[in-house]
Every structure is written in structure tokens, then in C-alpha cells.
Amino acid sequence: MAAAGNAPRTVLIDPPSGTGSAATQSLLSAMLHADDQVSQLIFSPGRPPQIEVSGALVAVQAPGLDLLSADDTRRLASDLIGQNKRAITMLQEQGSCDVSFGLPGLARFRVNVFLQRGSCAVVMRVMPGTIPDFAWLGLPAHLGDVAKLGDGMVLVTGTRGAGKSSILAALLDCINEHRTCHILTIEDPIEFLYTHKRATIHQRELHSDAPSFPLALRAAMHQAPKVILISELRDHETMEMALQAAETGHLVLSSVNSVSAAKAVERIVTNFAPVEQPATRSRLARVLRYVIWRKLAPRTDSSGRMAVVEILKGNSRAQECEEDSQSIHAPLEMNNENAADGIQHLDGEIEKLVRAGVVNLTIALACAADPKELQKRLAK
């Protein structure tokens, strides 16, 4: 299997069959079956179809399937968007659109279609067919305690492609299995489909079921949920309403893009006006129950990628650091050697992987929050 940094490779597939949308579905199916760790499908004019495997792009070839033309990618985009008028309008007016797409019995995709140099390109994120469990995601079992939370906020963070949606799904499924409550999700787009277990779940998709996150959140206050999942905190208004929901007795689960747990908190704070930031920091200190950050690092043996997880758990020390504007890593470092506190420090987890021979030093230092300090500790 190719690893990031190796020479590009190509895989061969059977030629797609059928015409129109049937041919598109046949192509997607063949690309998914080209490798058991496909995470993305990419279609760009002037390039062959590509899959991403363990962070590396791999070209896909089949008899009669060579470089894609602008017409090829336009037809593919049309098949994926279908009759979604909202997506068509967004593509025309804003240059990109997000849709979900499913291959029955095989896979679901989060699809982004965008214009580049006057033509269409398509990136399709593969969503697991089933909701992943904690072990598969590299998460500690004690995160099941999220199901016991009555209110507050659980924030999942990381860079794009780190599996934030999968972590949110695993957490929500855990709540669904253990609590008899009403769960409401607001997603853009819906990626995982939940079934009612002990809980009752309603899923709302942006644009088709609700025009925006803020409007959906306002409506949620009249829909009596105990748990609210917001797929992403993107703007000031959504962040403010999510905080209000967490402060008024709801358990709020959401995600934000960031390079560390600390930066996730800072990203929320800096979305507020400077005069509001001290109060926002204090509010976060009171409502944050967990901040979960995940990164995928290439394994030493080139067999794929390993999850590195950093966890901040809300406690008195974390609240004191937040309210006093100290580094959020202070409580992480104080608890780095006390797993019973439920806290995992990024560099501590990376150090364990290096010492176990799972991740090499170069990758470890590139992933570390403090590379110089990590190198000193590994030299001992």
C-alpha cells in the first residue's frame, strides 16, 4: 500500500458499465473497490480519476478510461447533483456546492463540486457504511461517559479529513444506545443515518430542511431536544447560539477545524468582538465538558495511518486556566501522566507511539505541539 511521500502509483479497475447515471455509479463502485482504505475520490479535468489512500493520491485506470475532460467532470457533477435546485443555484452563484450522495448498500459520500478555470472538479469524501465505534477511531473507552452528561458542550476538532464527523457520529450513537431522550441533529449535509434506539432522533439537513444553522437552532428551542448535534460551528451567530443552548440545559455536540485542542477554543473566542472575548472565554470554561482533537499520522511500516488523539476534559483546573486566560495546555500537561483524569496530551500520545515504533521521529516532530520539548524527552 502506498504511503504519503512515495512515488505516485496507479491501480487498474474494470471499465464502468452502463450509460448516464448508471455509468457514474459503476465507476464510483469500481473506485471504492480498488483499495480497502479509500477515503476520497477526486475528479479533475486533465487528470485520470483518483482515489486517496492513507493520505496519498492514486490514479485509477481502466480500458477506455484515460484523462478526464471538462465534459466528463461536468457530466459527473450533474449526475451527483441531480435535481437539487439549491445546489445548482449555489454552484452558479458561489462557485461551489455541497451535496450528499449514496450508493445503495455500498457507501455514502459528502460531495463538493466546484468551478476551477471554467470547468467542474469534484471531491467526494467517503463516509463509512456503518457508524464507527470508539476502538476503530482510536478513542479511549472512557469517552462513553459523554452519554452521562446532562448539559454543556462537547467539541470535536482537528484539520479537515481527520474524522471529526465520524467521532461525532460515534458519540451520538453512544448516547442513542444509553439514554431515553430526544436528539436533534442539524447537519450540512447529513452524512450518517441514525436509527432510533433508546433515544428518538430527528435529523435536519441544511437547505433542504432548514435554511441556516442559526434558524435551525432557534427552531430547536421549540422542539424539546435534550441533545443537539451541530455538524460544524462556522460563524459567530452559530457559536453564540450553541453556547446559549449549552448554558440552558442542553448537551451540544459540534465540531470546528483547528490544529490543536487549544486552537479550537481560541478560534471560537476570536470569533467574538474583542470586548466580548473575556466573557466568552469564561462562558466556555463553564460549559465545555470535552474537547477532542484527532490527527492521522503515517505509520512507520507504511501500512496506513495511526490516530493520535488529544483530549481536554472540563474540570476545575481547566476552568481556572480558561477564566484566567492561561494556556489551555496547562491542565493537559499537569494531567499528562494521570489517565484516570480522562485527559490526553498530544505530545504525550505521540511520544508513546514513537517509543512503540509505530510512528517515526520525523513524523512525530511534524505532528507535535512542541517539537523541541518532545525531542528532548525522546532523547532521555
Question: Domain with 91 in it: what CATH number?
Answer: 3.30.450.90
- CA distance readout (Å), 165 to 11, 86, 159, 169, 320: 28, 23, 12, 6, 30
CA distance 137 to 162: 10
Q: 242: part of which helix (H) or strand (E)?
A: helix 236-247
311 and 188 together in one domain: yes
pLDDT digits (tens, 9 = 90+) for 192-205: 889 999 999 999 99
**C-alpha cell belonging to residue 266:** 481560541
Residue whose entry in the numeric block shows the C-alpha cell 476551477:
116
145 and 96 together in one domain: no
pLDDT at 83: 87
169 and 115 together in one domain: no
143 and 106 together in one domain: no
CA distance 241 to 233: 10
pLDDT at 68: 93
Q: Is 350 inside any structural domain? A: no
pLDDT at 331: 39
Cβ proximity of 210 and 188 under 8 Å: no
pLDDT at 339: 52
Q: Is 270 inside any structural domain? A: yes
- The burial class, CB within 10 Å (0-12 / 13-18 / 19+), for 347 is buried
- Coil, helix or strand at residue 11: strand
pLDDT at 322: 54
Contacts of residue 121, defined as CB under 8 A and 6 or more positions apart, other chains included, come to 42, 43, 44, 45, 73, 113, 114, 115
What 8-state DSSP symbol labels residue 206? B
- Last-in-domain residue among 127, 155, 181: 127
Which amino acid makes up residue 58? V
**C-alpha cell belonging to residue 338:** 494521570
Residue whose entry in the numeric block shows the C-alpha cell 450508493:
103
User: In 10 A of CB 366, how many CB atoms?
Assistant: 12
Q: Is 362 inside any structural domain? A: no
> Residue 270 half-sphere exposure, CB side, CA atoms within 13 Å?
7
150 and 119 together in one domain: no
pTM (predicted TM-score): 0.80
154 and 99 together in one domain: no
- Last-in-domain residue among 99, 127, 155: 127
pLDDT digits (tens, 9 = 90+) for 186-243: 998 888 889 999 999 999 998 889 989 999 999 999 999 999 999 999 999 999 999 9
Query: Domain containing 103: what range?
Result: 10-127
**C-alpha cell belonging to residue 141:** 473507552
- CA 201 to the chain's CA centroid: 20
Closest listed residue to residue 9, CA positions, set 54, 69, 39: 54
26 and 83 together in one domain: yes
CA distance 312 to 308: 14
CA distance 253 to 29: 32
Q: Is 163 inside any structural domain? A: yes
319 and 208 together in one domain: yes
Q: Is 363 inside any structural domain? A: no
Q: Is 5 inside any structural domain? A: no
pLDDT at 341: 66
86 and 138 together in one domain: no
Contacts of residue 275, defined as CB under 8 A and 6 or more positions apart, other chains included, come to none
Give the largest Cα separation in the chain, rounded.
64
142 and 239 together in one domain: yes
Q: Number of folded domains in the chain?
A: 2
Q: Is 361 inside any structural domain? A: no
SS3 content of the chain, % helix, strand, coil (to 5): 40, 25, 35
251 and 232 together in one domain: yes
Q: Could you give the strand order of the β-sheet that contains 96-103, starting from the edge strand earlier in sequence?
A: 10-12, 56-61, 50-53, 38-43, 119-127, 107-116, 96-103
What 8-state DSSP symbol labels residue 55? T
How do the pLDDT tens digits run along the chain, 380 residues long?
334 444 457 887 776 766 668 889 999 999 998 988 899 999 999 999 999 988 889 999 877 778 999 999 999 999 999 988 889 999 999 999 988 898 888 888 989 999 999 899 999 999 877 899 999 999 999 999 999 999 999 999 988 778 899 999 999 999 999 999 999 999 988 888 899 999 999 999 988 899 899 999 999 999 999 999 999 999 999 999 999 999 999 999 999 998 888 889 999 999 999 999 999 999 999 999 999 999 888 888 777 788 889 998 886 555 555 555 444 544 344 344 445 567 888 888 889 999 988 888 888 888 888 888 888 888 87
pLDDT at 240: 97
- Last-in-domain residue among 127, 153, 168: 127
Check the CA dihedral 164-240-145-308 and report its sign.
positive
pLDDT at 130: 85
164 and 307 together in one domain: yes
CA distance 214 to 224: 16
Q: Is 379 inside any structural domain? A: no
Question: Domain with 335 in it: what CATH number?
Answer: 3.40.50.300
